[in-house]
Chains A and B, each alone.
Chain A
Amino acid sequence: MRTRLRFPGFLFPRSKKRKKLSAGRQEVSRPAKEGGPPEMEAAGGGAGAPSAAGVSTSVKNPGWKELPLSSTLDENLQNLKAVFAHCSDIVFREFNFAQNKNVRLALIYTDGLVDKSLVSDQIMKALSLEVPLVTSGKEIGKEQALEFIVRQGLCVHQVEYADRLEKAVNAVLAGDTVLLVDGHATALINGVRSWEARSVEDSLTDKLVRGPRESFVETLRTNTSLLRRRIKNPALKIETITVGRVTRTEVAVAYVEGIVQPGLLGEVKERLRRIDIDGVLEGGQIEELIEDNPLSPFCSINHTDRVDKVAAQLLEGRVAVITDGTPYVLTVPALFIEIIQDPEDYYQRYIFSSLVRIIRFIAVFAVLLTTPLYVSIITYNPELLPTPLLLSIAAQREGVPLPAFVEVLLMEFVFEVLREAGLRMPQPLGQAVSIVGALVLGEAAVRGGLVGAATVIVVALTGVASFSFCYTGSTTVRVIRFPLLFMAGFMGLYGVLISVFTLVVHLASLRSFGVPFLSPAAPLVLSDQKDFLVRAPWWAMFRRPRLIAGVNPQREDPGQKPRPPAGPGKAGR
């Protein structure tokens, strides 16, 4: 379902810090502009007709961004039109001020990003028709026009001034409406943003039985509002940075002041600031640009589209990075153990949650090790199987022409292809894929004697297990399973052991924003074991993770274990 969202305000209060930021970025980007194609071309969206005014302007006057607004409307309009040449979605609308026909006004906005009824009712109608109602027909001079319009003319909630061309251009592109007043070198920016967006729905990737179902959407402001609704506290800070030279994507950094470690926060902002890229279309790009271990298959930054999960992470002292246009919010620092943690663990009964966590933990190892162990035991160490099982497997393998290693590799390949096909196929065809995969391939391969039944069982087990924990984690584990499989094929159990050892060394060497990836297992943090393999009841988890929330570890008052009210009931004990 699509709804039209209304944003009655500016998306972002423009802080001084941000101004400095963008200035810094320009310095970086300028040399590139001189060498390569002018940046204007991309910003204007045009395919690059050389005669276009915008381009000629920028070529003629490469510092158009520094241009101040002029006090004559015509010059401003000319400049803006040059900038927005070949942008058919930019609307220029000129009209006269009701109080003084000499005061010409111009409205510039991007079609589709503004609430048109708001623009026509509260800006145009108000200024060109209704102002006389207020002033009872008294004429207002050119000099007072701007002041008057702001004070008494406009009926929109947020109004801001702009005196530089660049700011006006950015406002138009962001969905605000720019009002130019003849005779004034200041433009008025009116917040009337509104565009087509997906509505808040169930999370598609993180399913759950008990707990809030809301998930993030593509619009940044909706996402921040969802967070704000969870944490109604001024300590929840949401700072924004614009990333992407061309796309100008807004990226918000959210954290809870007083819980988050200042060092961590500074590091996140610093890394975001360092990004210099032409465009950010998804949070994943940001993730790869700011993570600690770019060469590792493990992701040291988590992402989720579940609002409650992000809120919980913020309360533990983590930092969230929300990217406009992405329903997935990044959270740092990320730990290995988050692969088996699920928000629902914290809402279900803790005993059941603990059981499920242990099962997920086993599943991780099942995905990683089942097939390599199968291959190495079958081809190198059959003495580890009980005799009847060995005879049974040997019987199945009697007619199989392929070595066990190739057989397993083949089945793994088939499984991965099926999985990918099921994912990419148009929805109604998904069923067909699974039928073809399960029945035709599996059954026929076994019947045809191409693969042993045990191999199919093992590969299927791996496949099922890989869906039992978080999807990102399972992709990682599935990837590293293949080198393990190769080592199993070449060196048997010894190869697997060596690989696992290397894997552990690698994991131990990882850090996510200063926090060891394997914590709280290595280094061992005893107090954090309550939320590791098992989930302790809420009244027992009175401390936040130690290495993440260092400054303020107390989560709740200890000793809240529910107990029956004191009174006559105790006599029986």
Chain B
Amino acid sequence: MLAQVVLATAVLTAPSLPIAYAGQDAWLCILLAGVGGLLIACLMVNLSRRFPGETLFEYLEDILGKIPGKIVSFLYLWFFLHIVTVVVREFGALLNPIFLPETPLVVIHILALAPVAYMLWQGLEVMARTNEIFASLLLFGVILVILAAPQIKLTNFLPVLDAGPVPLLKGTLAPLAWFGELITVAVFLPYFNRPRDGYRIAGLAVCMITFMLGLAVFLTIAVFGPYVPASYLFPTFNAVRLIQLANFVERLEILVVVIWVAGGLLKIGAFYWIIVLGAAQTLGLRTYRPLILPVGVIILALSFIFHRNNLEMVRYIGLTWPFYGLTHELLLPLLLFGTALLRGKRRKKK
């Protein structure tokens, strides 16, 4: 049931994918990144299964000891906080210029965070169920690609491997960092109905994400060719605007916005939940509910402090994020894994 949480969180990053590096071969980047993402997910699942029933924040202390564990916990909290502010900011970045140009961004953000906070208040189960309802929206994505068929030119993908392997790898980094968000599985896993299925669920999630991201990239390249989309803020959005069928089915970009809002809110919800849960577990609170409001305010404030405008955010996602993100998503888990192996620690018997 909870596989959906991980799933939907990553899928919606699709519209903001940079195709700039690899041109028409960006779809290969996604595939490569998918393989990388699978590795990260497996790593985290393996780590989690050494400490059944514990979240990332709990077993950090088991692995590293109390004080270093807490420090790394806070590092992760800060990292997740960073992610969620980017997501919030991105969320507003699509809505603000296109749909509500004169509305202050802060209002959009408040209105996004309020229902999410309500959802967290209701708990993880409600979040999962909401996810299930909105997961069907992903179907719209597939429908959109079908509707865009007349605009699609498969020749746009030729010649394969035009730019050579280096840009391809460069282009892989950013999506890989997005796939790295799957380390959230380390927090969600103990709450799964069947934690034993961890590998299967993580694998499924990676496949779905690869499929959806691949679909978005496919659509964009097939419609625009390799040269134009790199200049767009939201290429998928513009691609869908082109859909015109029988002089009647057109102006479908609203569907993208629907998917964007629903997916964005759920993604914010997932990371928001991780932050409040992680903070509560690190601080040793019984419930995370009292943290919802303060954390929400912090997210709201940071979303404006971290990025002053859209371009800064795009630059951040394209250049800073892959390295910053992968440090936390690949390097740290690897270190943790190594430490855990060396120390041979399992869950303490209680």
Would A and B touch once assembled, by the CB under 8 A criterion?
A: yes
Residues of A within 8 A of B (CB): 380-381, 383-386, 491-495, 497-498, 501-502, 504-506, 508-509, 516, 518, 521-524
Complex partner residue of A522 from B111, B119, B132, CB under 8 angstroms: B132
Determine the distance from Cα of A502 to Cα of B99 in the docked complex, in whole angstroms.
20
Contacts of B103 in A (CB 8 A): 491
Bound form: Cα–Cα A381–B114 in Å: 24
Scan residues 131-156 of chain B and give those whose CB is less than 8 A from a CB of chain A.
Answer: 132-134
Q: Which of A492, A501, A504 contacts B99 (CB 8 A)?
A: A492
Given pairs A498-B114, A518-B129, 17 additional interface contacts (CB within 8 A): A381-B99, A384-B254, A386-B251, A494-B111, A502-B115, A504-B134, A505-B115, A505-B119, A505-B126, A505-B127, A508-B129, A508-B130, A516-B129, A521-B133, A522-B129, A523-B128, A523-B132
CB distance from B117 to the nearest CB of A (A): 10
Q: Across the interface, which residues of B come within 8 angstroms of A493, CB to CB?
A: 99, 254, 257
CA distance A508 to B248 in the complex (A): 36
Q: B95 — which chain A residues lie within 8 A by C-beta?
A: 494
0/1 string, B256-270, CB within 8 A of A gives 1: 011001100100000
Chain A residues with CB under 8 Å of B134's CB are 504
Q: A386: which B residues are within 8 A, CB to CB?
A: 248, 250-251
User: A508–B127 Cα gap in the complex (Å)?
Assistant: 8
Q: Is the CB–CB distance between B126 and A501 below 8 Å?
A: no
Contact (A494, B115) CB under 8 Å given A521-B133, A523-B132: no
User: Quick one: closest A residue to B250, CB to CB?
Assistant: A386
Q: Is B108 an interface residue (CB 8 A)?
A: yes
Give the CA-CA distance A395 to B87 in the complex, in Å: 41
SS class of chain A's interface: helix, strand, loop or mixed?
helix
B319 within 8 A of A: no
Supply 28 A–B pairs (Cβ within 8 Å), ascending by A: A380-B99, A385-B251, A386-B248, A386-B250, A386-B251, A491-B111, A492-B99, A494-B95, A494-B100, A494-B111, A494-B261, A497-B257, A497-B258, A497-B261, A497-B262, A498-B115, A501-B115, A502-B118, A505-B119, A505-B130, A508-B122, A508-B126, A508-B129, A509-B123, A516-B129, A521-B132, A522-B130, A523-B129
Q: Which residues of B contact A498 (CB under 8 A)?
A: 111-112, 114-115, 261, 265
A436 to B254 Cα, complex, angstroms:
39
- Report, nearest first, the 3 A-B pairs whose CB atoms are least far apart: A508-B129, A522-B129, A522-B132
Q: Are A494 and B99 in contact, CB atoms less than 8 angstroms apart?
A: yes
- Docked-complex contact A495 and B115, CB < 8 angstroms: no
Instruction: Report the Cα distance A492→B254, complex, angstroms.
Output: 12
Asked if B1 is at the interface (CB within 8 A of a chain A CB), the reply is yes
CA distance in complex: A502, B132 (Å): 14
Question: How far apart are the CA atoms of A189 and B259 in the complex, in Å?
Answer: 70
A391 CA to B79 CA, complexed, in Å: 50
Q: How large is the interface on B (under 10, 10 to 19, 20 to 34, 35 or more residues)?
A: 20 to 34
Residues in A whose Cβ lies below 8 Å from that of B254: 381, 384, 493
Q: How far is the CA of A516 from the CA of B130 in the complex (A)?
A: 12
Would you give the shortest CB distance from A480 to chain B, in whole angstroms?
Answer: 14
Q: A494–B248 Cα gap in the complex (Å)?
A: 24
Inter-chain CA distance A504–B134, complex, in Å, is: 9
Chain A residues within an 8 Å CB radius of B108: 494
Which A residues lie within 8 Å of B126 (CB)? 505, 508-509
Contact call B133/A518, Cβ cutoff below 8 A = yes
Closest-by-CB residue of A relative to B241 is A383
- Nearest CB in chain B to that of A521: its residue: B133
Known: A493-B99, A502-B118, A521-B133. A383 touches B251 (CB 8 A): yes
* Separation of A457 and B250 alpha carbons in the complex (Å): 23
Whether A495 contacts B111 by the Cβ 8 Å rule is: yes
Give the distance in Å from the alpha carbon of A501 to the alpha carbon of B95 in the complex.
Answer: 16
Task: A384 to B127: give the CA distance in the assembly, Å.
Answer: 31
Q: How far is the CB of B233 from chain A (nearest CB, A)?
A: 18
A390, chain B: closest CB distance, angstroms: 10
**Smallest beta-carbon distance A374→chain B, Å:** 14
How many angstroms from the CA of A385 to the CA of B253 in the assembled complex? Answer: 12
- Tell me which of A380, A502, A522 has the highest count of chain B C-beta atoms within 10 A of its own C-beta: A522
The answer to whether A504 and B133 touch (CB under 8 A), given A384-B251, A491-B100, is yes
